[in-house]
Structure 1
Amino acid sequence: MAESNQYRLAVRAAGSTDPWQILRRTDGGPGITTNMTNPNEVDSSGQDSSMLLTSITVGGDVSIAFSAKTYDLIIQNVMGNDWVVDGGDPTLSTIIIGQDTPKLEFLVTYQDVGAAGKSYVIKDANVSQLQLNVSAGQVLTGSFSIVGEDYVADYDPAAEGDTFTDETTTKPLNCAQDINEISIDGSALINVCVNTMDVTINRNYQEDPCVGELVANQFKGTATVTGNISLALTEATFGLLQQSINEEEFKVKLDMTDGTAGNRYVFEAYRCKLGVEMPSGGRDTVLRPAVSYTALKDPVVGSSIQISRTLPV
């Protein structure tokens, strides 16, 4: 019987012979799903007499606990750009939204099925969405979604001579200790008591099925950056309602470091419009406005979001 602990997910650039990078995850993974259709022919016996394979869906969602260095290739793909090293600081690099998305491929192995395990490959794949979730008293979690255009249903890594790079060993980020700052327009709201925050980067891939093909093509759409923040109701945060009514723009920033290792990631959206939902009172209830934000393209940065990473080692 297969066990979830023996499910291995790995990634590399599509079509390459590079070592597979084993990915850390908490749940989920890309799959191959066969979709059958009944032609609904009339049968005198009053029974179904036929089912046909009409399409195959390739992809899926992966849940993670975010850690430094582990998902840099995933970030690069969903952003559609390369990490650019800061000329004055070789440990610092940044990435913005772009249209260059070299495809990836994902290897799934059930290591305890059969003597050597059984594997399949999701080919010509991209990351359609990345989400990070910050929540008080929790590990910083997230997820990413994979869409593929091809597959190998029975793949033998040993026969192909494949090699593997071990999982990263950086620690998962801790929302209680590793968040340096959550801010709106430079006003550090971490001191106001932020309860939850999330950020979602969605490339809005569109499925385009073709006659004569089982797997649909995938086309990248508009890059949208959105999120939500739940924070304490104070005199300062009460003003966000009027500012939202006035359609003011804000900068939203999430800054995090993994403790003594010093690996740092900063997510900055420079032009955000806010939606504010004021709380209603209830017995023994902490009142928290619900703030949603949508990031717009900043003409100076050339992107709706910029991600910076500092990797000292």
Structure 2
Amino acid sequence: MSESNRVRIAYRAAGSTDPWQIVRRTGDALTAGTETVRSDEIRSDRQRSGQKVTTITAGGTLDIEMAAESYDDFLAAALCTTWTADVLTVGTTTIKFDVIKSYLADDEHIVFKNMEVSQLSLTAESGAKITGQITLMGTEVDTDYVPGADTFTDAGTGLIFDSSNNLNGVTVDGSALVNTTFKALGLTINNNHQTDQGVGSQFQNHFKGSCDITTTSTIRMASSALDLWRSSIANVPVALAFNMADNDGYSYAFALGEVYLSTEPPSGALDAILDLSADGTAAVAPSGEMISITRTVPAVTP
């Protein structure tokens, strides 16, 4: 009998025989969905014939809790690039993984091949864990994979990030907002994948499009928060930056040089704390980049 906590998910470079890297996650929706057709043949006995599978869609989502080092490969794949001197910016190189989903209690294994990151999101709310979701799209499924001599690398064990201890340094145009604070912050990278299917194949092909980077934020109302609304009315972008770090010195500095905001002044209510909610759309900044993510990796003690 299957057990829910005996499901293991791991990944490696597509087409390689590298060791599988086990993924830390809180849930997943990786599957191979099907589309079917049936004959419209008219029968005098009113009965219908069987159906045929015409399309198989490989992919799904991984739900995660942000932690140091655990998702560096997926961050790079979401931006279609690789870490260069510990920095990521938007690139043009498609990164593909093979992903294995193992039902360990039953010794059953499914491999999703050529999986691309179509979207990655991170969400931080005050007093809560920093969570995220990775959306993957593949082109093939091996429904009866046998690991054989495959090896698996254990997932990291570092403490997860939360918005109270691991998120800091939130700035707008290089400075912290005055007399207020961010109560929530979110970031989404969307590669606008397009999908088609060729004759002679049940599987779909996926093609990345432009990179859309959007933000969400909730800010306690103050004059400096209302200035963000004024910026949105004037269509003047702001620079947004924030840091995530663990206690051992592993950190990520996120910088978006040009973010166009959409927001409205908040309305009052009885005994309420006024908050201003702002959605942002990143654009290419004068630096030539929409976003940069700089990681600091602590030195390993011999």
Normalising by structure 1, what TM-score? 0.92
Equivalent in the alignment of 1:132: 122
2:112 aligned partner, one-letter code = I
SS of aligned partner of 1:188 = coil
Equivalent in the alignment of 1:90: none
Alpha-carbon distance, 1:124 to partner? 1.1
1:169 to 157, 166, 179: 157
Change (3 A) 1:236 1:33: same
Tell me the alpha carbon deviations over residues 182-230 of structure 1, each in whole angstroms, 9 at most, x when there is no partner.
2221231496222211000111111111121111110000001001101
Alpha-carbon distance, 1:75 to partner? 0.9
Q: After the TM superposition, which of the residue ranges 283-292 and 71-80 deviates more from structure 2?
A: 283-292
Quick one: distance in 2 between partners of 1:305 and 1:50? 51
**Structure 1, gaps ≥5 residues long:** 86-92
Report matched runs for 1:32-181 at 5 Å: 32-85=32-85, 93-113=86-106, 117-158=107-148, 161-181=149-169
Normalising by structure 2, what TM-score? 0.95
Quick one: distance in 2 between partners of 1:183 and 1:299? 18
**Structure 2, gaps ≥5 residues long:** none
2:249 aligned partner, one-letter code = G
Tell me the alpha carbon deviations over residues 12-67 of structure 1, each in whole angstroms, 9 at most, x when there is no partner.
10111110000000011421122222233323333332211111010001100000
1:185 aligned partner, one-letter code = D
Quick one: distance in 2 between partners of 1:39 and 1:282? 59
Q: CA RMSD in A?
A: 1.4
Alpha-carbon distance, 1:233 to partner? 0.8
Q: Is the 8 A contact 1:9 1:29 kept in 2?
A: no
Q: Is the 8 A contact 1:183 1:189 kept in 2?
A: yes
Quick one: distance in 2 between partners of 1:233 and 1:180? 19
2:191 to 203, 209, 213: 203
Number of positions where the alignment pairs a residue of Structure 1 with one of Structure 2: 299
1:156 aligned partner, one-letter code = V
2:60 aligned partner, one-letter code = G
1:128 aligned partner, one-letter code = S
Quick one: distance in 2 between partners of 1:25 and 1:297? 32
1:139 aligned partner, one-letter code = K
1:266 aligned partner, one-letter code = A
Matched, 1:186 2:161: no
Identical amino acids, percent of aligned pairs: 35
Report matched runs for 1:263-278 at 5 Å: 263-278=250-265
Quick one: distance in 2 between partners of 1:299 and 1:156? 51
Equivalent in the alignment of 1:8: 8
SS of aligned partner of 1:151 = strand
2:118 aligned partner, one-letter code = S
1:233 to 208, 212, 221: 221
Quick one: distance in 1 between partners of 2:142 and 2:108? 12
Quick one: distance in 1 between partners of 2:178 and 2:124? 12
Q: Is the 8 A contact 1:196 1:230 kept in 2?
A: yes
SS of aligned partner of 1:84 = coil
1:24 aligned partner, one-letter code = R
